């Protein structure tokens, strides 16, 4: 029978017992790919609170599991192996069975602040002086490792009183009925890739269990790289609406360049693949005061935006609209695929893929794949999650059949069956801002 650790909390003279099983749920797995579906090898995936890392394999996969010495909660209320009472600048450790103890403290980014203990201890009571390592207005992570397993706790030395809270548990007992849940963070990094404007290579998760897939963008900014086919962003004419836009997107020159890079990488694998006819010199943004209806429209390399929309919407929404519109400037075809909404729905799907739109996990498709904007976009995004790189493949397909034939050629799967699956089961997971 596995051991279960218990932690003692003291708060205003009241002693509460907390089951120390929170870190037991480290069973996260997933895959890291580029936005065109290419597996990313050698990416570092970090589970922040547990300070555990993995490196993706040739197929971009990673896995955190029980081999990390983190055992699932047994549900048994056994005798405590140790207890910790934290007050002000000291921690009192009571050891029931002698073994090696490691007690270390990390900040919320996972950076080690101080190691307090790492040696064998005989049964008995010990006092650990926190010294100047902690600040009263901050929250830290306390990591306790023994030969029996690892436990992580949040530690907040507030108002002269320290207390330890359970982390990421669905079973922890704080009172007779209350449960404690908290979000963890998982981060993916790679020297040759990044997470886009919205930082989709990092996200918070509600529990350390399940599948977390990531998409990264190649970070090539060389003269022959992705920037080589990016357009210079200019405002024509310089209307009052432009001031609304610049207020919401002050660093517009940088962010527009990044937006273009993200869109191009959704549609092509290499900069050289961008058709010469899509390599415009400038991208004209017309925020004209006479445009009073609708949101935005694109013709060639000119984007027209409603100034009232720019005045009333957020940075994220404005750049999301521009992700959609910029696809029109770069996409190879529009409404000639046998699905009336394909030309508007794919740009919305790419907007979501880049992290600027969100359909929650479990959100179901409805209205038909031929619908425009978000209606059809949800179907195409669902297929993209099921078959990474689908949008790239279908947009570059040499298949001359209708949209069903194009999808079959790009995925090997039936469009009708995938539509039914989305309508029945909904999104398997999500990417981008919605995962935060």
pLDDT digits (tens, 9 = 90+) for 387-403: 988 988 888 877 777 78
Distance between CA atoms of 9 and 17, rounded to whole angstroms?
Answer: 6
Q: What is the CATH number of the domain that holds 188?
A: 2.60.40.3080
Q: Do 157 and 73 belong to one domain? A: yes
pLDDT(32) > 90:
yes
Report the pLDDT averaged over residues 117-127: 78
177 shares its domain with 251: no
The answer to whether residues 225 and 208 belong to one domain is no
Q: Kindly state the average pLDDT of the residues 23-49.
A: 81
Confidence of residue 155 (pLDDT cuts 50, 70, 90): low
pLDDT of residue 136: 58
CA distances from residue 364 to 238, 375, 384, 400, 420 in whole angstroms, order as listed: 42, 10, 15, 30, 10
Both 187 and 309 in a single domain? Answer: no
Q: Are residues 49 and 173 in the same domain?
A: yes
User: Which phi and psi angles does 177 have, rounded to 5°?
Assistant: -120, -25
pLDDT band at 139; cut points 50, 70, 90: low
Judge if 96 and 164 occupy the same domain.
yes
**Rounded mean pLDDT of 104-114?**
76
- Checking if the pLDDT of 68 tops 60, the result is no
Q: Is residue 137 located within the same domain as residue 38?
A: yes
What is the pLDDT confidence band of residue 220, given thresholds at 50, 70 and 90? Answer: confident
Which pLDDT tens digit goes with each residue over 229-286? 778 888 888 788 888 888 888 888 888 888 888 888 888 888 888 888 777 888 888 8
Give pLDDT, residue 395.
81
End position of a domain, from candidates 305, 330, 355: 330
Chain mean pLDDT for the chain:
74
Residue where a domain terminates, one of 330, 349, 367: 330
**pLDDT score at 175:** 24
> What number is the average pLDDT over the span 198-220?
79
Tell me the CA distances in angstroms from 85 to 155, 166, 366, one per residue in order: 11, 14, 54
Q: Count of alpha carbons within 13 Å of 241, Cβ hemisphere only?
A: 22
**Tokens 């399940």 belong to residue:** 210
- pLDDT for the residue 357: 85
How far is the C-alpha of 264 from the C-alpha of 221, rounded, in Å? 13
Is the same domain home to 8 and 105?
Answer: yes
- Worst-scoring range by mean pLDDT, 74-88, 218-232, 292-306, 351-365? 74-88
Whether 75 shows a pLDDT value over 70: the answer reads no
Q: What's the pLDDT tens digit per position in 407-425?
A: 899 999 999 999 999 999 9
The answer to whether the beta carbons of residues 20 and 7 sit under 8 Å apart is yes
Residue 357 domain boundaries: 336-436
98 and 8 both lie in a single domain = yes
Report the alpha-carbon distance of residue 300 to residue 283 in Å, rounded. Answer: 9
Q: What's the pLDDT score for residue 333?
A: 63
Name the residue with higher pLDDT: 172 or 262. Answer: 262
pLDDT exceeding 70 applies to what percent of the chain?
Answer: 70
Residues 234 and 195 in one domain: no
Structural domain total, the chain: 3
Domain boundary among 204, 219, 234: 219
pTM of the shown model = 0.68
Q: In what order do the strands lie in the sheet with 232-235?
A: 232-235, 282-286, 302-305, 296-299
Residue 378 has pLDDT above 90, yes or no: yes
Residues 211 and 245 reside in one and the same domain: no
Is residue 100 classed as helix, strand or coil in its secondary structure? Answer: strand
Are 402 and 316 members of one domain?
A: no
Between residues 436 and 284, the one the model is more confident about: 284
153 CB-contact burial (10 Å; exposed 0-12 / middle 13-18 / buried 19+): buried
pLDDT digits (tens, 9 = 90+) for 308-339: 888 888 888 888 998 998 888 887 765 445 55
């Amino acid at each position: 029978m596995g051991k279960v650790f218990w932690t003692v909390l003291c708060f205003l003279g009241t002693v509460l017992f907390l089951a120390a099983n929170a870190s037991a749920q480290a069973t996260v797995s997933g895959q890291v790919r580029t936005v065109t579906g290419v597996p990313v090898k050698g990416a570092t995936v970090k589970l922040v609170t547990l300070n555990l890392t993995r490196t993706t394999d040739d197929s971009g996969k990673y896995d955190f599991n029980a081999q990390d010495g983190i055992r699932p909660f047994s549900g048994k209320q056994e005798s405590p192996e140790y207890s910790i009472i934290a007050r002000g600048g000291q921690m009192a450790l009571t050891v029931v069975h002698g073994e090696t103890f490691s007690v270390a403290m990390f900040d919320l980014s996972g950076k080690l602040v101080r190691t307090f203990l790492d040696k064998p201890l005989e049964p008995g009571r010990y006092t650990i002086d926190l010294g100047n390592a902690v600040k009263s207005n901050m929250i830290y992570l306390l990591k306790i490792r023994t030969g029996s397993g690892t436990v992580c706790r949040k530690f907040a030395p507030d108002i002269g009183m320290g207390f330890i809270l359970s982390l990421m548990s669905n079973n922890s007992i704080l009172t007779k009925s209350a449960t404690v849940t908290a979000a963890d963070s998982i981060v993916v990094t790679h020297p040759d890739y990044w997470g886009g404007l919205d930082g989709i290579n990092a996200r918070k998760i509600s529990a350390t269990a399940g599948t977390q897939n990531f998409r990264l963008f190649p970070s090539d900014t060389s003269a022959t790289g992705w920037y080589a086919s990016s357009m210079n962003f200019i405002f024509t004419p310089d209307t009052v609406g432009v001031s609304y836009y610049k207020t919401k997107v002050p660093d517009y020159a940088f962010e527009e360049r990044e937006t273009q890079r993200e869109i191009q990488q959704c549609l092509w694998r290499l900069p050289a693949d961008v058709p010469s006819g899509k390599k415009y010199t400038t991208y004209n943004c017309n925020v004209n005061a006479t445009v009073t209806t609708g949101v935005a429209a694109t013709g060639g390399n000119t984007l027209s935006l409603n100034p009232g929309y720019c005045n009333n919407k957020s940075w994220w929404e404005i750049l999301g609209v521009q992700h959609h519109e910029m696809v029109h400037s770069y996409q190879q075809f529009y409404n000639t695929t046998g699905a009336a909404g394909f030309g508007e729905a794919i740009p919305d799907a790419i907007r979501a893929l880049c992290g600027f739109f969100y359909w929650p996990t479990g959100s179901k498709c409805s209205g038909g794949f031929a619908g425009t904007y978000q209606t059809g976009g949800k179907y195409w995004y669902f297929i993209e999650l099921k078959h990474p790189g689908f949008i790239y493949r279908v947009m570059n397909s040499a298949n001359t059949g209708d949209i069903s034939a194009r999808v079959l050629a790009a995925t090997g799967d039936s469009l009708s069956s995938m539509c039914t699956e989305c309508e029945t089961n909904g999104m398997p997971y999500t990417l981008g801002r919605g995962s935060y």
